[in-house]
């Protein structure tokens, strides 16, 4: 049987972790805000609670994968309210396991502390088991915490499952969010993270304000620490900037797109499951529904459009005729020179030097069926900060949604941030919140 014994995290790895995550000059106040566990709300059995600003960069993605497990796994419940506290913990365990597996194929690392070190710092987990709140413990300072880090190394998924089960209670304790985040980073590999981010010198967490970067959010959502949210790679003034290359299980929408600060691509707007992280300027929340038809599953036609778009990074709707052989090869279609020459003549009959996406799709993928999107459905919103929730209770907010047929010129009565954010995916969306109050994105 595989060992689950602790080994020390070597000093160099700890130093590299701190530099990657926090940069220099980490404020004690920021570190303290991140020292919490993955703890369920007293008022919603399956909702994780966030005590202070900052750790939403981990808590919101974990909540999203938790909801994916609850709503769409083989053991999914008919209603989220049917989930017991014990079942919620099991779904959380499976979500954490899935997210670690997403960043690596093998050789996983779970960061932890010795049982004796953690004994006085599992108050959150204890309180959830007993239903009682434990007395406030004095937390470790950042130097002491980092000096006490240990890990369990796993070389295959079953070993990972056994080890995670052993450490699960720690991840619900006072340092759980950080221990789990460090596990993700060491499993991914510090150098690999640096290779994926746009600016390796920029810390993944702002050391002054404690907010997670887009690279950190993308790492937890997609398994890759890409800094951008558009589809595929872009060439900007000769600089190749990486984007999202495939559908992720969970999506991402942001108020910053409404404000014209960024462009979220098809892959993140249309994840495999109808669950999205919602980003404001400073906080992350989660939107979800059971309406699977709101997202489009990948198909040969959609894949062809995405491949075509890689060769059209400016989004002009056409590629150079000289690129046709590369596009056909990328799609595993016939790409011998004689055939390609015939198709160039057909698709660029006027010899303009370009081939449009429309003509390409009509030739190679005719008769594409457009999936109908429901016009009426129910959405739920989650915000883990109790101070941002109505009556200070972390519970799901339910909304009845209608997608209007056309975007008409009308008197705008709802300019809430949450609606503006959702309009980046559904421009004609109208929402009626069951509670009568609009939830906060902050």
Q: What is the pLDDT of residues 237-269, one digit of tens each?
A: 888 899 999 999 999 999 999 999 999 999 999
Average pLDDT (270-284) is 96
Average pLDDT (393-409) is 85
CA 379 centroid distance within chain: 18
Cα–Cα distance measured from residue 66 to residue 77, given in angstroms and rounded to the nearest whole number: 13
Q: Is 116 assigned a catalytic role?
A: no
Cα angle for residues 36, 39, 45 (degrees, 5° grid): 165
pTM for this prediction: 0.84
Residue 358 scores a pLDDT above 70: yes
What pLDDT, in 10s, does the model give residues 6-22?
899 999 999 999 999 99
Average pLDDT (68-95) is 92
| Per-residue model confidence (pLDDT) at position 93 | 98
Q: Is 283 assigned a catalytic role?
A: yes
Q: How confident is the model at residue 366 (pLDDT cuts 50, 70, 90)?
A: confident
Burial call 129-156: b when 16+ CB within 10 Å, e when fewer? eeeeeeeeeebbebeebbebbbbbbbee
Which of the residues 121, 146, 159, 283 is marked catalytic? 283
What pLDDT, in 10s, does the model give residues 422-435?
999 999 999 999 99
- Per the CB < 8 A criterion, the answer to whether 145 and 195 are in contact is no
The SS3 call for residue 48 is strand
Delineate the domains of the chain, giving CATH numbers in brackets: 7-288 (no CATH), 300-364 (1.10.238.10), 384-432 (no CATH)
Residue 169 scores a pLDDT above 90: yes
Q: Which residue has the higher pLDDT, 361 or 407?
A: 361
């Amino acid at each position: 049987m595989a060992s689950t014994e602790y080994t020390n995290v070597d000093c160099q790895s700890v130093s590299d972790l701190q530099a990657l995550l926090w940069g220099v000059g980490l404020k004690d106040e920021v570190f303290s805000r991140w020292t919490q566990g993955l703890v369920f709300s007293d008022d919603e059995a399956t909702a994780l609670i966030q005590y202070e600003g900052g750790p939403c960069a981990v808590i919101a993605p974990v909540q999203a994968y938790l909801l994916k497990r609850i709503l769409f796994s083989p053991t999914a419940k008919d209603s989220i309210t049917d989930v017991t506290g014990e079942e919620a913990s099991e779904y959380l365990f499976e979500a954490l396991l899935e997210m670690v597996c997403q960043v690596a194929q093998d050789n996983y690392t779970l960061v932890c502390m010795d049982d004796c070190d953690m004994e006085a710092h599992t108050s959150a987990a204890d309180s959830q088991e007993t239903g009682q709140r434990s007395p406030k413990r004095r937390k470790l300072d950042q130097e002491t915490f980092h000096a006490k880090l240990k890990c369990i190394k796993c070389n295959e998924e079953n070993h990972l499952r056994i080890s995670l089960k052993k450490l699960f209670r720690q991840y619900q304790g006072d340092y759980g969010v950080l221990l789990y985040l460090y596990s993700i980073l060491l499993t991914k590999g510090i150098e690999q993270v640096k290779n994926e981010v746009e600016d390796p010198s920029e810390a993944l967490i702002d050391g002054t304000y404690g907010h997670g970067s887009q690279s950190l959010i993308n790492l937890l959502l997609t398994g890759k620490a890409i800094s951008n949210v558009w589809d595929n790679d872009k060439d900007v003034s000769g600089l190749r900037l990486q984007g999202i290359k495939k559908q992720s299980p969970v999506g991402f929408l942001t108020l910053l797109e409404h404000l014209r600060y960024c462009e979220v691509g098809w892959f993140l707007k249309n994840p495999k499951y109808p669950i999205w992280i919602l980003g404001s300027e400073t906080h992350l929340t989660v939107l979800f529904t059971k309406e699977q038809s709101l997202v489009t599953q990948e198909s040969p036609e959609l894949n062809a459009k995405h491949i075509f778009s890689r060769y059209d990074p400016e989004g002009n709707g056409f590629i150079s005729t000289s690129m046709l052989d590369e596009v056909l090869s990328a799609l595993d279609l016939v790409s011998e020179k004689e055939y390609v020459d015939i198709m160039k003549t057909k698709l660029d009959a006027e010899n303009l030097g370009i081939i449009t996406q429309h003509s390409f799709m009509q030739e190679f993928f005719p008769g594409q069926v457009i999936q109908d999107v429901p016009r009426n459905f129910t959405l739920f919103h989650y915000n883990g900060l109790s101070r941002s929730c109505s009556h200070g209770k972390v519970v799901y907010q339910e909304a009845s949604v209608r997608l209007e047929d056309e975007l008409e010129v009308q008197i705008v009565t709802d300019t809430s941030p949450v609606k503006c954010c959702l309009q980046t995916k559904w421009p004609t969306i109208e929402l009626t919140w069951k509670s009568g109050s609009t939830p906060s994105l902050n």
